[in-house]
A and B are shown apart, each in its own frame.
Chain A
Amino acid sequence: MFCLHFLGGSAREWEDTKRYLDPHLICIPLDLPGFGDAAHIARTSVDEMADYVIDRIAERGQSRWWIAGHSMGAKIALVIARRAEDGDPKLAGLDGLVLLAGSPPSPEPMSDDKRRDMIAWISADEKTRTLRAGAFIDQNTGAPLNEAARTAAIDDVLRADPKAWTAWLQEGSREDWRRRIGILRTPALVLSGSKDADLGPAAQICLMLPHLANARHVVIEGASHLLPIECPKAVADLICEMRTLPIAVASDPACVLDSYASLIASHRVNSRLRAALAARASAGSAPYRPCVLDAVEFSILRALIDRVLPQSSDTCIDIGARIEARLSDGFGDGWRFADLPSDGEAYAAALRTLDAAARATHGIGFTALPDETKEALITAVAAGELPTVAGDLDGRQMTKWFEDLRSDAVRIYLAHPAALARLGFSGIGAGGDDVADMPGFSEFRINSREPWEPISEAEAGR
């Protein structure tokens, strides 16, 4: 497992974790350019740092490997995972990602004041530097560190090249990699500390998990931002657990009732419809990669649809992926509200508006909100009362867009054979391929089911 450190850290931050992991997993901590023993190397952009690490990985020639990234290192790890999934021959064999208090693909959430302050003191006089480096380490830990660990961490901060430190704060942490990273399918363990301010659980839910199709997120209670230093044993245990309890690969689990599947297979259903129903039932078995929306917007869409059209666990149709695919195809339904932009733009703008309203009213993004808070925001959207700011869609536009969203979701849902089965819909059985001899319907009275007609799940349950 190649291990990448946080801003101001070095390969040394992994020493305790490495000890707990041995002999299960060989840890290979690396110094990033500008830090630790690589402080003299001036390669400060995300791409340049990734290139540097890729060369180190290639030198080792491991056939199977993982990569772990802590904070700043996580963003580099994500870029490397994207290149590995895209087939970079130097990166064959990537089996897992571990992201600790990771800096997400999006610009990192951090106040301008904090950023300015950190840039100021790193180049100040030696006394100030030492004092502020200590404060920096203390601010990023939950319980106080033991003296040796604290001293080593401060020493690492002071070893860093101030240019690299400043470049990360001004540029690297603000680089927007959302679209380039997209959604990774590599199994990923996401760790966050409950006391971490900027990159804690909510930020991981809203900004990191959207990029990971197969992720397990664990919150370490009491910890803050320096997870490998603060709680190396917990980190090591969770990584070992990931090895023994592999993360399930997500799939579209919607399944069609056997009785309805028999109807679909019967001569009453024509071949074109049968093939279309099969295609709808199988779509979504691979992780979906959005094209029009970025991964974060897409995760908000999915979170919203979970509230708008909740499904039972056995008919869990990935409606969000199908809506996004339609937006990508550009295939519309023949009209749009004149005061909304084009469908793709409207979706992206509306999801950003909803997320901004969540942050403005509750301080965290929509996906990390508890259900009842999500529901309150949705009610406000429907009523045209969502608080919005200039540049977003306004309340009235959000109401119209929400009508479109409900329509899109329902039409995708009801096209799926699992949903039709739930309804007990008999229309698909009106006739097979021989149009000269289609049975159609001959019974029209109330409460008079033709013998072959399916019954709804509600009826079946009585």
Chain B
Amino acid sequence: MNLDSMRRYATDEVVDAVVIGTGAGGAPLLARLAAAGLKVVALEAGPNFDPVRFAFDETLADEIYWTEERLSGGTTPEAFGANNSGTGVGGSTLHWGAFTPRADQRDLKLRTETGEGIDWPLDYDDLKPFYEQVEGFIGVSGPAAYPWDSQRRYPLSPVPRNAPARIMAQACEGLGIRVADAPAAVVSRDFAQEGGGTRKACINCGFCHQGCRNGAKTSMDVTYLPLAVAHGAQIRPMCRVHGTERDGMGRITAVTYRQDGTERRQRCAAVFLCAGAVESPRLLLHLGLANGSGQVGRNYMGHVATQVWGTFAGEVRMNRGYPSSLISEDMVRPADADFAGGYLMQSLGVLPLTFGNTVARSRGLWGPALTDYLARYNHFAGIGINGETLPCDANVLTLSDEVDAFGVPKARIDFGYGPNEDRLNDHATRTMTAIWEAAGASDIWVAQRVAHTLGTCRMGRDGDTAVVDPFGRSFEVPNLWISDGSTFPSSLSANPALTIMALSLRTAEAFLRSR
């Protein structure tokens, strides 16, 4: 994004806030604080990209993924890199899928409903105004009537359904499963972005995960960050935070970071840690900060993200169009569930490398069976889920004894499904397989997958059992706030980014009230 004319602050000036990370957790609050007249500086570990350079290629997109090594353990080790965190101004919103369901209000009270998991220390009504604010601001496209929430209205009409969505819709209709055009943070028409220029309508290229070339897809660098800069925020790319300075009261007085090999130090009155559910707890654990509860790193969660694939006689060409253009929330509470919580379903169009990687890892093919299968690319379509994962003691992020190039220990993430995830996964696999059978798919197979990074700095009402309060403020370090997926007490069945943005704005309001 264009940072040429942004305001600049001296490192020895005490700015009102330093924001660490410019993704879905950091960017909205950066914009809100700047709009309130605060002096704010964002430190981004990655580079500042010009989206024009994104090139419709999966390998060239490596530059927007967080490819520093993490160690994955546990019984269902999670893949990172292209599967999850991002790098660059805009964070992982540069490569996210822009699929924007809201949290289901029952998911926020799962403990009360089922005795499993944990309740969030806030209600759907606390989030709703922020959801509406975010959806209006970033331009979410969606159906005129949302089958699972009669009051919901989306600002833009839906993007076209791709072929997998058409196949899934027809099959679901026959099975009595409700579907709708997916809520997608992709503008279906030219869109005047508040704080920025005009974002061109989506061209249906299918490369959301490789970086959007024309700004049609919401990423922070075409939405909240231009607004932040317009209001006087400074964004410093290629700045890797590795330390803090604190006063006698335990308040953070400065953030230390490395930029182009040079050590720097920004004085500040408050810090917002928004580096995601792996890098945020990693930094806190490394610094021994804000962990009186012992909860930092605990209850790591990835979503159950199983996919079912099939081959169709006709050409599907699933690379064309918005990749996940159909949603069903019918399984958020299935009538025949033998598990707590539920899952969302979406249609899937996936590009060759990502698909081939799934085939190679999950399907266990090699030899002519592998090359011949890949050659049928134009005939595949898939369905996937995003399923509730309960918090669990065994699922934990720790520091390994290997260090990275900055001398900081690498993160080790142990993750595995418990009985609830296994039962949910079985149910989802049966459901998706039935849909693909009804659709006439042949050679149906199941890809086991885990997605997203959540938990590790959970929010709660009590400093003994939680890292931050319901607004993201540390119980222990009074001027430290956390805003990213790490604060989620439970995973929810909804994909997380929209909720992270809504919480970010809510955190900003709380911070402004607290001054």
Q: Verify A440–B205 contact, CB threshold 8 A.
A: yes
- Please give me the residue from chain A that is nearest to B58 by CB atom: A415
Question: How many residues of A sit at the interface, in one of the four size bands?
Answer: 35 or more
Query: Which residues of chain B have C-beta atoms less than 8 A from A439's C-beta?
Result: 203
Q: Are B56 and A446 in contact (CB under 8 A)?
A: no
Q: Report if A25 contacts B (CB, 8 A).
A: no
Q: Are A336 and B72 in contact (CB under 8 A)?
A: yes
Closest Cβ of chain A: how far from B400's Cβ, in Å?
A: 8
- In the bound assembly, the distance between CA atoms of A444 and B160 in angstroms comes to 8
Q: Say yes or no: is A426 at the interface (Cβ < 8 Å to chain B).
A: yes
Q: Measured between alpha carbons, how far is A39 from B281 in the docked complex, in Å?
A: 70
- Which residues in window 340-384 of B have CB below 8 A to A? 351-353, 356-357, 359-361, 364-368, 370-371, 374-378
Q: Mark B40-71, 1 if CB is under 8 A from A, else 0.
A: 00000000000111011111101001111111
Q: Are A453 and B317 in contact (CB under 8 A)?
A: yes
Least distance between B402 CB and chain A CB atoms (Å): 8
Tell me, in angstroms, the Cα distance from A439 to B200 when the chains sit together. 12
In contact, A308 and B206 (Cβ under 8 angstroms): no
Give the residues in chain B near A456, CB-CB below 8 Å: 375-378
B320-A443 in contact (CB<8A): yes
Which residues of A are found within 8 Å of B65, using beta-carbon distances?
334
- Contact partner of B356 (CB less than 8 A), chosen from A276, A311, A332, A414, is A414
A272 to B376, CA, bound (A): 27
What residues on A are CB-neighbors of B414 within 8 Å? 338
Q: Contact between A272 and B55 (Cβ–Cβ < 8 Å)? A: yes
Query: In the complex, what residue of chain A is closest to B321 when comparing beta carbons?
Result: A444
Chain A CB within 8 A of B204 CB: yes
Known: A336-B72, A426-B317, A440-B205. A445 touches B370 (CB 8 A): no
Answer whether residue B34 sits at the interface, using C-beta atoms and an 8 A cutoff.
Answer: no
Within 8 A of B (CB), among A414-462: 414-415, 419-420, 422-428, 430-431, 435-436, 438-449, 453, 456-459
Interface: B163 (CB within 8 A): yes
Q: How distant is the Cα of A382 from the Cα of B361 in the complex, in angstroms? A: 11
Stretch binding the partner chain, chosen from A66-74, A159-167, A288-296, A403-411:
A403-411
Chain B CB within 8 A of A309 CB:
yes
Query: Are A446 and B203 within 8 A (Cβ)?
Result: no
Give bound CA distance, A334 to B62, whole Å: 10
Contacts of A331 in B (CB 8 A): 62, 67
Task: Say whether A338 contacts B71, CB under 8 Å.
Answer: yes
Task: Looking at the assembled complex, report how far the CB atom of B314 sits from the nearest CB atom of chain A, in whole angstroms.
Answer: 4
Contact, CB under 8 Å: A445 / B81? no
A276 → chain B, closest Cβ, in Å? 6
Residue of B nearest to A378 (CB): B366
* Residue of A with least CB distance to B357: A407
Given A308-B370, A410-B359, A443-B320, is A276 in contact with B57 using a C-beta cutoff of 8 Å? yes
- Are the CB atoms of B377 and A334 closer together than 8 Å? no
How far apart are A394's CB and chain B's nearest CB, in angstroms?
16
If A333-B67, A410-B359 touch, whether A441 touches B205 (CB-CB below 8 Å) is yes
Within the complex, the shortest CB–CB distance from A270 to chain B, in Å, comes to 6
**With A332-B69, A423-B352, A427-B206 given, is the CB distance from A438 to B213 under 8 Å?**
yes
Q: Complex formed: what's the CA distance from A354 to B122 in Å?
A: 55
* Residue in B316, B364, B376 whose beta carbon sits within 8 Å of that of A446 in the complex: B316
Q: How far is the CA of A77 from the CA of B320 in the complex (A)?
A: 57
The interface on chain B, measured as residues whose beta carbon lies within 8 A of the other chain's beta carbons, has a size of 74
Q: CB-CB < 8 A to A420: which residues of B?
A: 352
Residues of A within 8 A of B309 (CB): none
Contact A310 B367 (CB under 8 A): yes
A422 to B370, CA, bound (A): 14
Q: Mark A261-287, 1 if CB is under 8 A from B, else 0.
A: 000000001101100100000000000
A407 to B81, CA, bound (A): 13
Interface string of B433-453 (1 = CB under 8 A from A): 000000000000000000000
* Chain A residues with CB under 8 A of B374: 410, 413-414, 419, 423
Given A339-B73, A425-B377, A444-B161: A449 and B315 interface contact (C-beta under 8 Å): yes
Residues of A contacting B214 in the complex (Cβ-Cβ under 8 angstroms) = 435-436, 438
Q: How many A-B residue pairs have CB under 8 A?
A: 206
Give chain B residues whose Cβ lies under 8 Å from the Cβ of A428: 56-57
Complex CA–CA separation, A377 to B371 (angstroms)? 20
In the bound assembly, the distance between CA atoms of A382 and B370 in angstroms comes to 14
Please give the distance in Å from A335's CB to the nearest CB on chain B. Answer: 4
B337 within 8 A of A: no
Q: Which residues of B contact A273 (CB under 8 A)?
A: 55-57, 60
Chain A CB within 8 A of B454 CB: no
Report A-chain residues with C-beta under 8 Å of the C-beta of B204. 440-442, 444
CB distance B321 to A406 under 8 Å?
A: no
- Docked CA distance A409–B366 (Å): 10
Report the bound CA distance from A72 to B73 in whole Å: 48
When distances are taken between beta carbons in the complex, the residues of chain A under 8 Å from B78 are 335
Chain A residue at smallest Cβ distance from B59: A415
Query: Inside 8 A of B366's CB, which chain A residues have their CB?
Result: 307-309, 378, 382, 406
Q: Does B312 contact A (CB under 8 A)?
A: yes
**Smallest beta-carbon distance A347→chain B, Å:** 15
1/0 per residue, CB under 8 A from B, across A295-339: the answer is 000000000000111110000000000000000000111111111
Pair A430/B67 contact, Cβ less than 8 Å = no
B contact residues around A422 at 8 Å (CB): 375
Q: How far is the CB of A398 from chain B (nearest CB, A)?
A: 14
Q: How far is the CB of B394 from chain A (nearest CB, A)?
A: 14
**Does the CB pair B352–A425 fall under 8 Å?**
yes
* Residues on A with beta carbons closer than 8 Å to the beta carbon of B160: 444
B88 to chain A, nearest CB (A): 14
Q: How long is the Cα–Cα vector from A334 to B378 in the complex, in angstroms?
A: 29
Bound Cα distance from A269 to B56, whole angstroms: 9
A413 to B375, Cβ gap below 8 A?
no
Nearest-CB distance from B171 to chain A (Å)?
A: 13
Contact with B along A9-41 (1 / 0, CB 8 A): 000000000000000000000000000000000
Given contacts A331-B67, A427-B56, 19 further A-B contacts (CB under 8 A): A270-B55, A276-B59, A308-B366, A335-B71, A336-B71, A338-B400, A382-B366, A410-B353, A410-B374, A413-B374, A414-B356, A415-B57, A425-B352, A425-B377, A426-B320, A438-B203, A446-B316, A447-B314, A449-B315
Q: Which residues of B pack against A, CB within 8 Å?
A: 51-53, 55-60, 62, 65-73, 77-85, 160-163, 166-167, 200, 202-207, 213-214, 312, 314-317, 319-321, 351-353, 356-357, 359-361, 364-368, 370-371, 374-378, 400, 412, 414
Spell out A's residues near B (CB within 8 Å). 269-270, 272-273, 276, 307-311, 331-339, 342, 375, 378, 382, 403, 406-407, 409-411, 413-415, 419-420, 422-428, 430-431, 435-436, 438-449, 453, 456-459
What are 19 A-to-B residue pairs whose CB atoms are below 8 Å?
A276-B55, A309-B371, A335-B80, A337-B71, A338-B71, A338-B400, A339-B73, A407-B361, A409-B360, A410-B353, A414-B352, A415-B57, A415-B58, A415-B59, A420-B352, A422-B375, A423-B374, A430-B205, A431-B56
